[in-house]
Chain A
């Protein structure tokens, strides 16, 4: 499948580089045959230490979803937060619509400042997508771009409350984009 090619070509020709987890541009796969969304290889972190894929599921991360529920999940070193959500079928509606290809902002997560600082640099492309996210904060990142590591083991991240603030109870009004 040539699905990833145009993006890859654009990235290469444009001389752009993705700082955090280059996996998304080298390992995006078309998942037409994989409707279970177990896209373990599409959003796999490939940042050195975990390129072979750690098998130890010995890290933890807590997600607080839109309903305020805390969802505790185990994670492997190098696994992206999007992968963690998918693998554990966590109850977060609409998470990861573009399947980790930096084409949407539906895996938007909000971090505590102390963990945010541990996350490493952010690419222009991730910033571009975050710009379209609802409820953007100073400590927002996209879950598909964050790889689990010991440094952030046990952290809690928030799924942003959605958009009632942007639109409210509108009757016949055009919302802002």
Chain B
């Protein structure tokens, strides 16, 4: 299944005969670099080219004058969740790409896309070729609901749904069902709000974003008019942040439909909350209880789509349609809270409630997966055990981003945590804990292996060709870009 350049299939035999040293150095910038440098520079590689990978690279390159930092990515295109996770109507957030691009343009940084670490090349091989390996491969799996009916058509994970509208190759055939009037999103975080916004936004707003044409076409014909975001706990425990809530409240063509009784008794609690939670709760209360001004009341009355938060409900089962072929509703267990604040626990009361709906999206979090049996992994927490980014009991191995601390936080959180990991690595170089006296071949050694295996890495300038084509296709239809969905097509653009 690995996308490869066809001409490369013919090369392995020759490469074997030629041996490592006969390769022209022009094809091996890493080798060239290490030969011309007076001392051996630390050779570092990063697995994953999302924000964690790029911010780690940025810090290393900026604070070490010789370190060589190579970034491996399994897709032919860089930037991870900035490209495939950030909502298409949040282009401001994607400005971070400009800084990442600067980092990739550094002479000491090489991007190697289309290389799946763990399949095309092993962690052990990376550790042999580099002095240090930083794991920044994120959280690519989803948490499962673990309820009957979860696999029925009409039920999708947020991860897949977001991947679908953002052009993630793996999700391009998802084809979600928008034929029902009501959608239920299980979860009350920012991803849940992103999805609600995408489901309910006027299509003319989405047309100007980099959402895929496939998603745009499907959403144009969507019959979804109501979106409920369901949480096990109460309004004081919602996980989304205030910016996203504010956007939702003012989303054109939609009106909030919240249950006032959920908010009526919050007044006493609010004043003692920390500022972020306090402002968030105040906005929730305002949206639910305050009588809107004339203009806003008019806007709401003219809106034909609605959304709302449903609290103290935990999913029990997806209810099938009569023919059993797709989802037709969801059964929720009514819960009550034990304890207060962030640590409150939802306990079932024994009552249930059924909501008829044709689209169910589970947005209950992402999960990291182990990359190799040789790398320690805490299955319970879904992270690599570490101390300030140093992988436990594994010298020379580091981690940053979601695989380090779990799949939460905004890009700024990942930035700081990646800088911390880079700082740990730099300290280890300085203290001698990370020995780099022995020369390592870095990317040139790995390119050798990849060549033998018929894998053609995609360079950053290759990506810039793909980028230019996407931008040109987008410009034709008034979008910032039209993403290419098929990795084969991406590879064809760079393999000429």
A residues neighboring B (CB under 8 Å): 1-7, 9-10, 13-16, 28, 30-32, 34-37, 93-94, 97-99, 101-106, 124-125, 127-129, 131-134, 136, 162-164, 167, 169-177
- Give the distance in Å from the alpha carbon of A30 to the alpha carbon of B96 in the complex: 11
Q: Contact: B250 with A174, CB < 8 Å?
A: no
Q: Contact: B383 with A32, CB < 8 Å?
A: no
Write 5 A-B pairs (CB below 8 A) sorted by A numbering: A6-B89, A30-B480, A93-B59, A132-B412, A175-B406
Q: Contact: A169 with B388, CB < 8 Å?
A: yes
**Choice from A7, A16, A101 contacting B250 with Cβ under 8 Å:** A16
Q: Contact: A134 with B415, CB < 8 Å?
A: no
Q: Which residues of A contact B95 (CB under 8 A)?
A: 31, 97-99, 101, 103
B residues neighboring A (CB under 8 Å): 55, 58-59, 62, 89-93, 95-96, 98-99, 101-102, 105, 205, 208-209, 239, 241-243, 246-247, 250, 252, 275-276, 279-280, 295, 342, 378, 381, 383, 385-388, 392, 405-406, 408-413, 415-417, 419-420, 471, 478-480
- Give the distance in Å from the alpha carbon of A7 to the alpha carbon of B92 in the complex: 8
Q: Which residues of A contact B280 (CB under 8 A)?
A: 131
Known interface pairs A31-B98, A104-B412, A170-B387; A1-B279 also in contact (CB < 8 Å): no
Q: Contact: A94 with B243, CB < 8 Å?
A: no
Q: Contact: B93 with A103, CB < 8 Å?
A: yes
15 further interface pairs, Cβ-Cβ under 8 Å (given A104-B411, A132-B412): A2-B208, A5-B208, A13-B250, A13-B252, A32-B98, A35-B98, A94-B416, A98-B95, A103-B90, A104-B93, A163-B417, A163-B420, A167-B417, A174-B383, A176-B342
Min distance, Cβ B476 to any Cβ of chain A, angstroms? 13
Min distance, Cβ B392 to any Cβ of chain A, angstroms? 6
- Give the distance in Å from the alpha carbon of A99 to the alpha carbon of B388 in the complex: 28
Q: Which residues of A contact B59 (CB under 8 A)?
A: 93
- Give the distance in Å from the alpha carbon of A39 to the alpha carbon of B408 in the complex: 30
Q: Contact: A167 with B415, CB < 8 Å?
A: no
Q: Contact: B98 with A172, CB < 8 Å?
A: no
Interface centre among B410, B412, B420, B480 (most CB of A within 10 A): B412
Query: Of all chain B residues, which has the CB nearest A173?
Result: B381
**Choice from B91, B383, B385 contacting A4 with Cβ under 8 Å:** B91
Q: Contact: B243 with A105, CB < 8 Å?
A: no
Q: Contact: B250 with A3, CB < 8 Å?
A: no
Min distance, Cβ B382 to any Cβ of chain A, angstroms? 8
Query: Of all chain B residues, which has the CB nearest A133?
Result: B412
Q: Contact: B250 with A6, CB < 8 Å?
A: no
- Give the distance in Å from the alpha carbon of A37 to the alpha carbon of B405 in the complex: 30
Q: Which residues of A contact B392 (CB under 8 A)?
A: 171-172
Q: Which residues of B contact A177 (CB under 8 A)?
A: 239, 408-409, 413
Q: Contact: B208 with A6, CB < 8 Å?
A: yes
Known interface pairs A101-B92, A102-B92, A177-B408; A131-B241 also in contact (CB < 8 Å): yes
- Give the distance in Å from the alpha carbon of A7 to the alpha carbon of B209 in the complex: 11
Q: Contact: B243 with A128, CB < 8 Å?
A: yes
Q: Which residues of B contact A101 (CB under 8 A)?
A: 92, 95
Known interface pairs A14-B250, A177-B409; A93-B378 also in contact (CB < 8 Å): no
- Give the distance in Å from the alpha carbon of A107 to the alpha carbon of B209 in the complex: 26
Interface centre among B62, B92, B93 (most CB of A within 10 A): B92
- Give the distance in Å from the alpha carbon of A128 to the alpha carbon of B90 in the complex: 15
Q: Contact: A6 with B91, CB < 8 Å?
A: yes
**Choice from B91, B275, B409, B479 contacting A131 with Cβ under 8 Å:** B275
Min distance, Cβ B438 to any Cβ of chain A, angstroms? 29
Q: Which residues of B contact A124 (CB under 8 A)?
A: 246
Q: Which residues of B contact A164 (CB under 8 A)?
A: 420
Query: Of all chain A residues, which has the CB nearest B280?
Result: A131
Q: Contact: A174 with B408, CB < 8 Å?
A: yes
**Choice from A34, A97, A163, A171 contacting B387 with Cβ under 8 Å:** A171
- Give the distance in Å from the alpha carbon of A37 to the alpha carbon of B102 in the complex: 9
Q: Which residues of A contact B62 (CB under 8 A)?
A: 93
Query: Of all chain A residues, which has the CB nearest B63?
Result: A93
Query: Of all chain B residues, which has the CB nearest A15?
Result: B295
Q: Contact: A35 with B243, CB < 8 Å?
A: no
**Choice from A106, A125, A128, A162 contacting B241 with Cβ under 8 Å:** A128
Known interface pairs A31-B95, A131-B275; A6-B205 also in contact (CB < 8 Å): yes
Q: Which residues of B contact A134 (CB under 8 A)?
A: 412, 416
Min distance, Cβ A3 to any Cβ of chain B, angstroms? 5
Q: Contact: A1 with B250, CB < 8 Å?
A: no
Interface centre among A2, A5, A105 (most CB of B within 10 A): A2
- Give the distance in Å from the alpha carbon of A99 to the alpha carbon of B98 in the complex: 9
Q: Contact: A132 with B410, CB < 8 Å?
A: yes
Q: Which residues of B contact A2 (CB under 8 A)?
A: 208, 478-480
Q: Contact: B105 with A35, CB < 8 Å?
A: yes
A-B pairs with lowest CB-CB distance, top 10: A101-B92, A14-B250, A103-B92, A131-B276, A172-B385, A174-B406, A177-B408, A99-B95, A128-B243, A3-B91
Q: Contact: A132 with B92, CB < 8 Å?
A: no
